[in-house]
Amino acid sequence: MSKLIESKEGLRVLLMGNEAIARGALEAGVNVASSYPGTPSSEIIENLSRVAKERNLYVEWSTNEKVALEVAAAASFANLRALCAMKQNGVNVASDFLLHLAGSGTRGGLVLVSCEDPGALSSANEGDSRHFARMMEIPLLEPGDFQEAKDITKWAFDLSEEIKNIVMVRSVTRMSHASGTVWFGGLPKPEKPSKAAFNVDGPFFDQETGPVTSIPVAWHHPVQQEKIRKAEKIFEKSPFNTYRGPKKPELLLITSSACNLYSREAIHLMGLENRVGLLKLGTTWPLPPKLLKKYLSLTDKILIVEEVIPFLEENVKILAAEQAGEIGVKTFFGKKEGTLPKTGEFNPDLVAAALSKILGVSYATMEPEYQKKSQSAAASVGPDRDLTFCPGCPHRASYWSIHKALQLDNRKGFVCGDNGCYSLGIWPGGYRTISTLHSMGSCLGLATGFGKLDTFGMEQPVLAVCGDSTFFHAVLPALVNAVHHKANVTLVVFDNGGTAMTGFQSHPGLTVNAMGEEAPSLDIARICESMGAKVETRDPFDLEETTTTLNHLMEEEGVKVLILRQICALSPEKRGKKRYQMRIDETRCIGEECSCNRLCTRVFKCPGLAWDQGKKKARIDEVICAGCGVCADICQAGAIIREEAV
């Protein structure tokens, strides 16, 4: 049984931030949860799906974030409580619906959780979606530790019902994927609510009983703004805004989210508890003006610590300017004037450096001599590890074939990439095969655009690559567009049987849904064919067949789709099972004498196959090799031997 449905109140547990968010939703009696997987958000829905049966929840991995939010909103319209989770750029995808939803308002508690990735540890961007809260005029909450991750999520449902609008909760990687000690609150009894219904028989302008819409805007927009003013009043008294420090600090540090933990630690490290006041805000949009006025009045020096965009900084400055007559003129430190970095993830040392600069207190993280010695030691062990595909990963084989097909084609063809593990195709481990990488589905949108540039004399063949889950997420509309506009483009779908990058969640192409129930699967090949594309399906482990097919397709006009189907090496059905036992025939591997110029290791770069510096021959690493057998086809000397594993 999942620890998340342990009903004992006051139980002390070690929870990941995302588990704490899931528990908060369960304590709030959530009914429906939806999401599209994305790091660092995925574990929220994973955890809720595991307890769906026991807690009578409906949980789904939706096709994309916009659909996910619509699914959650429908539950709210039917007076149920719903949570929708996504990574930062998912909010962009959902934002069109979100704008209209914020205008129409909601009924049952509806919470949008955005888990963001400052420093882009597992993203192609470090987008800060807090601006959406201001732009859409909806409340924004940011938990400052793991306990709050749970408690704020729970409270967000109450707030949503109180103001009758969606509430946004923002987390970051170091909150969602970090873990900490949390005390459980009680769980409501898992009863199905009385029959759900969407009640629309009432008067047109009654949000509870009439139609749910943002029109007429002239009527709804003022109502929406009244809701945000109500939230502002509630925030003045919120227990999630806390102050710790002296009555008259020299410096007021204002922060939120994981930066709260960095700031607390930095103050502690430097022994500045009596000089620096720490105002941690849990309600970051709209800011409560009276509360801010109270603390801004304590001192003239203000430091704002936040990731990534100076969102708090700008909003605090606006409040300070409005109140300048009463509280005086303040000096602000933060991102704008350069005390703190303008991009990237923070840590306690960056905050300590800022405090050191402002207060003139020295703080050394390391003795200079140790620093010098350890740096030269680290340099001696080589450059940082390049990210690469796992041993046995189908993507390595797929990129090998695409790379080769492009070389054989010899017309300077190029590949537009997309989001997933296969984004690594931009690095040497994927032979630098992809040349563009943007949002979900952009591979084919861009490729279609390129595919129409023949009008302007462009002659290069255009390819796009996407994964199976990405295909359903946002490639579909681009495919419609490509076919309709007769673009000359070849789409390669890396179908590895799941949303692999984020932990193997289900998607519409699979026969199982988030709750483990049987689900009808949509066949990518048939979808593409029915749209009028020419479709071929191959096994990427068959390098020759894949390359030849791709070369043929690139010669043809119109929209062509090559589906490369081979399950992810980390999938539960494959993991730890070797199809082949690989070995090197050392009599055949003539090492540097061979005309291959160490193709197997210098270029192919599978972690399971290394160059033995001593023997000057290739060597299989038994511990790492996954036994996919692909490298046997790389070696022209036939020195890599593939034998059926027993």
Partner 1 sequence: MEPLIQDPYNIIIAGVGGQGNVMASRVVANMLSMKGYWITIGETFGASQRGGSVMSHIRVSAASIWSPQIPKGKAHIVIALEPVEAIRIMMTYGNRDVNVLTNTRPIYPVSVIAGEFSYPDLDEIKTTLDSLSSHVWMIDATDEAMKLGNPILSNIIMIGAISGLGLLALGLEEFMTVIGETFPEKLQVVNKRAFEIGRNKVVQ
For residue 16, the SS3 value is strand
Q: Which is nearer to partner 1, 261 or 553 (by Cβ)?
A: 261
Cα gap 493→473, rounded to integer Å = 13
State the nearest-atom distance from the C-beta of 602 to partner 1, in Å.
Answer: 5
Q: Which is nearer to partner 1, 18 or 160 (by Cβ)?
A: 18
Q: Which is nearer to partner 1, 66 or 395 (by Cβ)?
A: 395
**Which one of 5, 74, 99, 121 is in contact with partner 1 (CB under 8 A)?**
121
Should residue 105 be labelled a site residue for partner 1 when binding is judged by CB under 8 A?
no
Q: Which is nearer to partner 1, 502 or 547 (by Cβ)?
A: 502
- Could you say which residues in the range 144-163 bind partner 1, by CB under 8 A? 145-146
State the nearest-atom distance from the C-beta of 74 to partner 1, in Å.
Answer: 30
200-217 as b/e: b if 16+ CB within 10 A: eeeeeeebeeeebebeee
Q: Which is nearer to partner 1, 384 or 518 (by Cβ)?
A: 384
- Could you say which residues in the range 2-31 bind partner 1, by CB under 8 A? 12-14, 16
**Which one of 381, 410, 573, 595 is in contact with partner 1 (CB under 8 A)?**
381
Please, which residues have CB within 8 angstroms of residue 372's CB and are 6 or more apart in sequence?
none
Should residue 181 be labelled a site residue for partner 1 when binding is judged by CB under 8 A?
yes
Should residue 623 be labelled a site residue for partner 1 when binding is judged by CB under 8 A?
yes
- Could you say which residues in the range 547-586 bind partner 1, by CB under 8 A? 576
**Which one of 179, 213, 439, 551 is in contact with partner 1 (CB under 8 A)?**
179
For residue 253, the SS3 value is strand
- Could you say which residues in the range 475-514 bind partner 1, by CB under 8 A? 501-502
- Could you say which residues in the range 444-473 bind partner 1, by CB under 8 A? none
Should residue 441 be labelled a site residue for partner 1 when binding is judged by CB under 8 A?
no
> Could you give the dihedral angle defined by the CA atoms of residues 60, 63, 65 and 66, in that order, rounded to the nearest 10 degrees?
-110
- Could you say which residues in the range 242-281 bind partner 1, by CB under 8 A? 258, 261-262, 264-266, 269
Tokens (6 digits) for 323: 């109140």
Cα gap 378→269, rounded to integer Å = 26
Enumerate the β-bridge partners of residue 535: 561
H helices of 34-168, where?
43-50, 52-55, 65-77, 88-104, 130-136, 146-163
Should residue 383 be labelled a site residue for partner 1 when binding is judged by CB under 8 A?
yes
State the nearest-atom distance from the C-beta of 618 to partner 1, in Å.
Answer: 10
Binding part of the chain for partner 1, among 88-96, 151-159, 169-177, 316-324 by CB under 8 A, reads 169-177
- Could you say which residues in the range 341-360 bind partner 1, by CB under 8 A? 347-349, 352
Cα gap 534→561, rounded to integer Å = 6
Cα gap 409→419, rounded to integer Å = 26
One-letter amino acid of 157: F
Q: 58 and 32 in contact (C-beta within 8 Å)?
A: yes
Should residue 429 be labelled a site residue for partner 1 when binding is judged by CB under 8 A?
yes
Q: 274 and 246 in contact (C-beta within 8 Å)?
A: yes
One-letter amino acid of 266: A
Number of residues in contact with partner 1 under rule CB under 8 A:
73
Should residue 103 be labelled a site residue for partner 1 when binding is judged by CB under 8 A?
no
Binding part of the chain for partner 1, among 184-192, 423-431, 432-440, 512-520 by CB under 8 A, reads 423-431
Tokens (6 digits) for 589: 């591997």
Cα gap 181→13, rounded to integer Å = 6
Q: Which is nearer to partner 1, 164 or 396 (by Cβ)?
A: 396
Tokens (6 digits) for 2: 């999942």
DSSP letter, residue 591: G
Should residue 282 be labelled a site residue for partner 1 when binding is judged by CB under 8 A?
no
Should residue 387 be labelled a site residue for partner 1 when binding is judged by CB under 8 A?
yes
Should residue 74 be labelled a site residue for partner 1 when binding is judged by CB under 8 A?
no
H helices of 297-347, where?
311-322, 324-327
State the nearest-atom distance from the C-beta of 123 to partner 1, in Å.
Answer: 8
Estimate to the nearest angstrom the gap between the alpha carbon of 187 and the chain centroid: 29
